[in-house]
Structure 1
Amino acid sequence: MSAIIGTDQYNNYFGPQIPSNVQGGITAAMPGGSFCGALLSGFVSDRMGRKYSIQVGALIWCAGSLAICIAQNVPMLVIGRFINGFSVGICSAQVPVYISEIARADIRGRLVGCQQWAITWGIMIMFYISYGCSQMKGTASFRVPWGLQATPAVILFIGLLFLPRSPRWLARKDRWEEAENTLALLHGNGDANDPFVRQEMEDIRAMVEFERQNADATFFELFKPSVINRTHIGLSTQIWSQLTGMNVMMYYITYVFAMAGLSGNNLLLSSSIQYIINVVMTVPALLWMDRWGRRYTLLIGSSLMMMWLFTNGGLMALYGRPAPPGGINDIKAASWIVHGFASKAIIACSYLFVASFAITWGPASWTYPPELFPLRIRGKAVALCTSANWIFNFALGYFVPSAFEHIKWKVYIVFGVFCAAMTIHVFFCFPETAGKGLEEIETMFQEKPRAWKTHVSDNLTPVGVQRVDNSEKTPHVHHQEV
């Protein structure tokens, strides 16, 4: 949307001048649908499995893309984006669950982080496609990119046909032979007697048998005393990731840079740099997040983002002035003007803000929640956490244009305060999960350690090294480089 909402073709067709609250509604329709899709995804995933639920999401995305591609007015556009959002809700909730359940503990964060990296690539590619299409005449300038976005969903649906199902989901459905074969394929080069595979199967079997002693999982179980702390942490992670203000930057970066004095092609090209930064700066997190741990990653990220947000707010307050009535380029949300060195500093701080998010909260906020919950409630729990992400995305997407219009630079101060609050919250309440097996994390929560006394597991096994199995049920195996 960020490359399209500022074009004459879009505004003339759906306008002529789209009010801030209407544009907020168009933008927020997708996260609104995502909220609904995420809530439903837990039921779909537990019944059909992680793999099939993602394929359902891919099909829904294709339907939504067709709907917005042929949209004739704002209501049709809103409905199409809501359908697309429903797909996003399903996939964003269940892809991290699927990856977490098939990944080894020592690279789980890296693999779930790849989801976020893929998202950054998608954002960047679609921005440049939309930017290129903006040079076209008529409605093709926005219909072409809205139609092309169905392509990845087709690839996703077909590609999933060749991927295995979650071994933990299979085990919970008593499909033990399939679960063991899948684990052997994933972690033992097809050898079911591999020490890692045998240990993993024992862990899964013990956890499934323990969970069988409990009633079938419901959403109400997420709020029982034994689980509610994890629910609070997972929900908070997703809510805080939105309250950093990152998606506001993604949606409305053209408004911010217009207030910094950019216009025309310079505005769109300068806005696009943030997408490149987002892609590049996610890579270090993929490589080292499992070594850094989740806590330090989140704490450092929120502290840096707080600094850039307060700096931007201060610069706009000290060196800016109100825009003429009607806003810049007839966009009421672009309600403040900054020129000179301050405008360059605002652009620089905006880039640094994106870099700080991309290397910290971007991948970590998707990696962390699936690690918190036991198998029997993981699908529903992550669905609930992801729904919280999308309902806050919806609220911010809808209200931020009006906020820029009415409180102007103070928007930055509001998000800076949020970053300060999340830093304190993470320090006192978020335990470390990096390097721990999903079953080991369950034991950690039962012991209830102080969050700041947890650390990256000493059992973290480097890639290419077999895990030692010290149980009495399997022979001792020395560390051996493959």
Structure 2
Amino acid sequence: MAETGKEGNVKEIETMEESTETYARIMAAHKPNPLGPGYIKLYMLSAVIFLCSTMNGFDSSLMGSINALPNYAEYFDLPEHGNASTGIVFAIFQIGQMCGALFIWMTDWYGRTWHIFFGCLGVCIGTIITSLATSLPMFIAGRFLLSFFATCAHTAAPLYLVEMAPPKYRGTIAGMYNTFYNVGSVFATSAVYACHKYLANHGNLDWRLPLWLQMVCPGLVCLVVKFYPESPRWLVSKDRHDEAKAIIASYHTNGDADHPLVALQMREMLATVDPEHQASWKDLVDLRVLVESRSSRYRLMLNIAFSWFGQFSGNNIVSYYLPIMLTGIGITSTNTKLVLNIVYAVVGWVSSIIGSRLHDVVGRRKMLLTTTAGMTICLAIVAACAAGYTEYGNKTASTVSIVFIFMFGAIFACGFTPMQPIYPAEVVSNKMRAKAMGTFKLTAGAAGFLNTALESVIRRQAGVLQLLFPGSNLDDLAKKDRSELIQLLSQDSSPTGGILEPEPPCLASSPAVSNSNQLGDSNDGPESDREDPEEDRHWDEPEIGIAARIWVSVPIVEASKLWSEVQQADNCTFVLNPLGSAMASAPDSLREMRYIDFYFEHIHAITPFLHEASFRAAFASRDQQTPAWLGLINMVLAVGSIASGSENAHIYYYNQSRSFLDLDSLASGNLEALQALCLLGGYYLHYRNSPNMAYAILGAAQRLAIALGLHRESPVRTDHQTPEMAQRYAIKIEIRRRTWWSLYCLDTWASMTLGRPTCGRWDSSTMNTSLPEPLDPSDYLATSLRCSAEFCHIGNRVQHCFAQSTQISIRVAQALDHDLQEWYESLDPVLKDTMSAPPRITVAREFLRNRYHNCRLILSRCFLLYMAYENSKTRHGHHQRPRESEEGKMAHLCRSIAAEAIDAIALHWVPNRIQVWNAAWYLFQACMVPLLCIAMATSSSSSSEMAVDSESDVMFWYSSLNKALEVFADMKPWMRASDHAPNIIQVLVQAVSQRSTTFDTPSSTGGGSHLFGFPDELLTEMDWSLFPSGEDMFQIQYPLT
């Protein structure tokens, strides 16, 4: 048998050499006109088949581009830098490709054109599913179907072209097929760029519309492919010789059936085709034709090697993860990434067109060897330059890295893109061609899956190792045992790196005035920065403690005195995990870029006092090293890390910032130091439950701002030499305005519930800074800050009224409430529309709405407290004021506002750490109103007089509280461990609901109350003496309301 196979190989080689020599002689004497009518029809036919490649190129760049769109990532809850789901979305295409490759044998059964038709039809169906997907599993399923049928079409199409094209032009025609891969790539990236630019603010249209466009190419092919002639080689295999001869004559010799080339090609096909074999489903598992001889096995090996190497050449990583790679070297703008994607695709297309002709001129082997060497050099330079940028911040290295990324793409396109459909088809014999192409696609799919899916996993694992063991070599870590690794993790942190191990939060002895600053005792700063011990503390109350002092009224206090006695330990004892509950390592550039992205996405729109482009450029260059700049950077990173959901990374950046923001920064202050103080006092210290320290910091920041002259409008200059200088000056002036008004807003927002004087925060006779102005028509951030400043003008007046020792009059309260309503009604539509607002404005809009409701609540709730006080006196024989009085109307307004605030937060809250922190705080305050109303109604019903509220009112208040508790439960994953507002509300709801029946301690759940995280047996009697009671309420209600 071996001898027979050897003789068959020798005979086959001799036949090929004879056919080649004959073909050369015929072409020298009777060369057909390549511009004749038959060739023109062939070119037009090929152009439509090229759309199968365009379809494939469209998909590859489509997902790479869509992956950079914030709306797409937000809709499917995908992180910016990718995760396992991102890898699956990309890798499922390779899985579908492998499955589709198993059915390439069907091209030998019912023909090449039918396989192309069914493949394109299936792509249209898969496109419909992905475009309508409402969940990630549905999207992935659509991607699988799309890739399965795309492989059917994409495998049969080059096979069809190779068999239809004349031998002399086969390399150029079939090679051009794959160059249209880049046409699809350009089409996809351009479509995504245009949709993102013009439709980013219209929901999900910016990424769904490009998905629908994926139907264009396969749809056109479906319409016409069945009107095309079948492959002559397939017709010969089906014993349809006359049809095959007519097709060769029509397309190879311009209709001359007697041309010697027709006879030569017919003879060659008849010699290689086995007409007795009829393809069937059994061929799916019958692969003997691929290994039946040494020649077949060698051809199969070349086929597999070419397919595998083509996937592991680095092109998949560059094309799929180009947006992430660009982020890694400092390019963060979405528009810039999309433009570079387009340029990358155009460069690849031009290079592949050149390469498709060079392969016929230079030769296959020389082209492949040369381009492989060039790609190796390019990837090495890219890796070195990327390391230079990420490790040392070298911008030149970043630029060089981008250049060689594009050079790599051009070289790959020139050498490999044209050859991918030609070489696998040319290197195998006719009878093994279909199965060999299936093997080629199966191998490519497997390699591509490993390349895209596993690369994502490996990259994330490497990131975790770098996070846990910064600066450690993987080989060194592999040699250590578990105890050594834990010891390495447990090492003390240092200013330059290491692991931070903050102390877990310890509950205070009082839930009302709790020492809830879990960071206070972690020795992460000087004594003045830490919360004082409870017995020495006089005025640094946590925010919820202040609210509880104000809001818990006499009926609730009296009900609580009847609770059963419980036990509480004097000291909190914790077992510290050697790994820490959460850890923050020394920073790396990628993680810091992520924190900056979160800052600008979730914080910047509220107080936009930074110029984003300038800040990002300065951060990327790392040229500035002044203390003020470093303090600002670290505060941005601290607040951004909180917004990202990181538990403890902010501690590292806070410590770094504090080392730069000392008293000297006040003595030689500048705008950057002021902006850092705004973030410190306006956001960060409130997050750490240090409102009074924040109050002092913002006071110092205001003095610094006045010293810098920000309270006065800067003069207008017209002597600029260039428009660029004028633009820079305009930006500088606008940033000064925004910094002043941001500070004004932060100070007002933080002080409205403290009952303290405004201290001249705004004086129109001495301060004339203009309100923010947009830098361009799409600058909605200026609109947001302008509206916030106008709101704070009203809030400033509200704070001034409550800082006085006299009771606020109803007329003044109603006038201020009217001003607030007029302000809200006059808001720009972009700050009221919940459907089409830009994503960043959504953050500012929700903050504004919550503060609007809270300010109205502050104005009206004092009258509800007056009613509560009078209600307590009624039970002791005093006369009760009629509900129809003006005070009663204001109390009723307070109830309506509280219900509206709860409904708004329940409807519009967003799952993000910063926004949940804000929404939960205002939700807590709003819940105190129905709690007090229920307590008042319960007390009235137990007195000798009739109940002052109907049962329907009480049920409505309970409904609002239940809704709030449901929202708190949904918010829990994004809340801090020290946030006990839900527990407080739940306990108080149970207290007032048991008022009329029993006064046993109610349980929060069926298994126990777990008040503030403690089991029943550890509870003690709550220190209610901290709350106002009896006549003391009258003494404190006015200044603290």
TM-score w.r.t. length of structure 1: 0.78
Of residues 84, 91, 95, the one that matches 1:32 is: 95
Report deviation, 1:296: 1.0
- Structure 2 vs 1, CA of residues 212 and 61 (structure 1 numbering), >3 Å: closer, same or farther? closer
Q: 1:107 is paired with a residue of what secondary structure?
A: helix
Of residues 443, 448, 456, the one that matches 1:388 is: 443
Of 261-270 and 361-370, deviating more is 261-270
Give me the whole-angstrom Cα distance separating, in 1, the residues matched to 2:326 and 2:133. Answer: 29
The yes-or-no answer on 1:315 pairing with 2:385 is yes
Output the amino acid matched with 2:406. Y
Task: Check conservation: 2:328, 2:390, Cα contact below 8 A.
Answer: no
Residue 343 of structure 2 corresponds to which residue in structure 1? 273
Aligned length: 392
Give me the whole-angstrom Cα distance separating, in 2, the residues matched to 1:406 and 1:92. Answer: 34
Task: Check conservation: 1:92, 1:386, Cα contact below 8 A.
Answer: no
- Cα deviation 1:98-138 (Å, max 9, x = unaligned): 11111112111111111111111011101110121123121
Of residues 297, 304, 307, the one that matches 2:367 is: 297
| Equivalent runs, 1:233-382 vs 2, <5 Å | 233-264=302-333, 265-321=335-391, 338-382=393-437
Structure 1 vs Structure 2: percent identity of aligned residues?
26
Give me the whole-angstrom Cα distance separating, in 2, the residues matched to 1:81 and 1:280. Answer: 29
Report deviation, 1:316: 2.7
- Cα deviation 1:281-322 (Å, max 9, x = unaligned): 11111222111211111111111000011111122334423x
| Equivalent runs, 1:167-178 vs 2, <5 Å | 167-178=232-243
Give me the whole-angstrom Cα distance separating, in 1, the residues matched to 2:429 and 2:325. Answer: 42
- Structure 2 vs 1, CA of residues 106 and 211 (structure 1 numbering), >3 Å: closer, same or farther? farther
Task: Check conservation: 2:189, 2:341, Cα contact below 8 A.
Answer: no
Residue 151 of structure 1 corresponds to which residue in structure 2? 216
- Cα deviation 1:157-204 (Å, max 9, x = unaligned): 122133211000000010111111111111122221111111111111
Residue 459 of structure 2 corresponds to which residue in structure 1? 404
Residue 291 of structure 2 corresponds to which residue in structure 1? 223
Residue 333 of structure 1 corresponds to which residue in structure 2? none
Output the amino acid matched with 2:97. S
- Structure 2 vs 1, CA of residues 301 and 223 (structure 1 numbering), >3 Å: closer, same or farther? same
Give me the whole-angstrom Cα distance separating, in 2, the residues matched to 1:343 and 1:238. Answer: 32
Give me the whole-angstrom Cα distance separating, in 2, the residues matched to 1:88 and 1:247. Answer: 17
Of 23-32 and 351-360, deviating more is 23-32
Task: Check conservation: 1:112, 1:367, Cα contact below 8 A.
Answer: yes
Of residues 161, 178, 196, the one that matches 1:99 is: 161
Task: Check conservation: 1:38, 1:92, Cα contact below 8 A.
Answer: no
Residue 558 of structure 2 corresponds to which residue in structure 1? none
Relative contact order, higher structure (CA 8 A, sep 6+): 1
Give me the whole-angstrom Cα distance separating, in 2, the residues matched to 1:115 and 1:9. Answer: 34
Output the amino acid matched with 1:80. G
Task: Check conservation: 1:34, 1:89, Cα contact below 8 A.
Answer: yes
Q: 1:17 is paired with a residue of what secondary structure?
A: coil
Output the amino acid matched with 2:196. S
Give me the whole-angstrom Cα distance separating, in 1, the residues matched to 2:393 and 2:91. Answer: 28
Output the amino acid matched with 1:26. V
The yes-or-no answer on 1:164 pairing with 2:229 is yes
Output the amino acid matched with 2:217. P
Report deviation, 1:212: 6.5
Runs of 5+ in structure 2 lacking a partner? Answer: 1-62, 464-1041
- Cα deviation 1:58-77 (Å, max 9, x = unaligned): 10000000000000111001
Q: 1:2 is paired with a residue of what secondary structure?
A: helix
The yes-or-no answer on 1:60 pairing with 2:128 is no
Of 347-356 and 30-39, deviating more is 30-39
The yes-or-no answer on 1:50 pairing with 2:112 is yes
Residue 86 of structure 2 corresponds to which residue in structure 1? 23
Give me the whole-angstrom Cα distance separating, in 1, the residues matched to 2:264 and 2:412. Answer: 36
Give me the whole-angstrom Cα distance separating, in 2, the residues matched to 1:156 and 1:17. Answer: 37
Of residues 301, 314, 325, the one that matches 1:232 is: 301
The yes-or-no answer on 1:182 pairing with 2:182 is no
Task: Check conservation: 1:14, 1:74, Cα contact below 8 A.
Answer: yes
Report deviation, 1:40: 1.1
- Structure 2 vs 1, CA of residues 7 and 212 (structure 1 numbering), >3 Å: closer, same or farther? closer
Residue 332 of structure 1 corresponds to which residue in structure 2? none
Give me the whole-angstrom Cα distance separating, in 1, the residues matched to 2:185 and 2:462. Answer: 28
Give me the whole-angstrom Cα distance separating, in 1, the residues matched to 2:428 and 2:203. Answer: 50
Q: 1:391 is paired with a residue of what secondary structure?
A: helix
Aligned residues: CA RMSD: 2.1
Residue 132 of structure 2 corresponds to which residue in structure 1? 70
Of residues 180, 203, 218, the one that matches 1:118 is: 180
Report deviation, 1:365: 2.3
Give me the whole-angstrom Cα distance separating, in 1, the residues matched to 2:230 and 2:394. Answer: 55
- Structure 2 vs 1, CA of residues 16 and 183 (structure 1 numbering), >3 Å: closer, same or farther? closer
Give me the whole-angstrom Cα distance separating, in 1, the residues matched to 2:83 and 2:64. Answer: 14
Output the amino acid matched with 1:200. Q
Give me the whole-angstrom Cα distance separating, in 2, the residues matched to 1:310 and 1:62. Answer: 40
Output the amino acid matched with 2:167. A
Give me the whole-angstrom Cα distance separating, in 2, the residues matched to 1:398 and 1:342. Answer: 28
Of residues 250, 263, 275, the one that matches 1:198 is: 263
Report deviation, 1:375: 1.8
| Equivalent runs, 1:129-144 vs 2, <5 Å | 129-135=191-197, 136=199, 137-144=202-209
Give me the whole-angstrom Cα distance separating, in 2, the residues matched to 1:182 and 1:73. Answer: 49
Task: Check conservation: 2:182, 2:345, Cα contact below 8 A.
Answer: yes
TM-score w.r.t. length of structure 2: 0.37
Q: 1:15 is paired with a residue of what secondary structure?
A: coil
Give me the whole-angstrom Cα distance separating, in 2, the residues matched to 1:40 and 1:239. Answer: 20
Task: Check conservation: 2:104, 2:437, Cα contact below 8 A.
Answer: no
Residue 817 of structure 2 corresponds to which residue in structure 1? none
Runs of 5+ in structure 1 lacking a partner? Answer: 322-336, 409-482
Report deviation, 1:406: 4.2
Give me the whole-angstrom Cα distance separating, in 2, the residues matched to 1:30 and 1:14. Answer: 18
- Cα deviation 1:354-393 (Å, max 9, x = unaligned): 0000100111122100012222221111111111111211
| Equivalent runs, 1:7-22 vs 2, <5 Å | 7-15=69-77, 17=79, 19-22=82-85
Task: Check conservation: 1:110, 1:285, Cα contact below 8 A.
Answer: no
Q: Give 1 or 2 for the bigger CA radius of gyration.
A: 2
Give me the whole-angstrom Cα distance separating, in 1, the residues matched to 2:374 and 2:138. Answer: 40
Report deviation, 1:338: 4.9
Q: 1:193 is paired with a residue of what secondary structure?
A: coil
Give me the whole-angstrom Cα distance separating, in 1, the residues matched to 2:275 and 2:149. Answer: 33
Report deviation, 1:211: 8.4
- Cα deviation 1:317-366 (Å, max 9, x = unaligned): 34423xxxxxxxxxxxxxxx854100001000100000000100111122
Give me the whole-angstrom Cα distance separating, in 2, the residues matched to 1:248 and 1:277. Answer: 17
Task: Check conservation: 1:257, 1:271, Cα contact below 8 A.
Answer: no
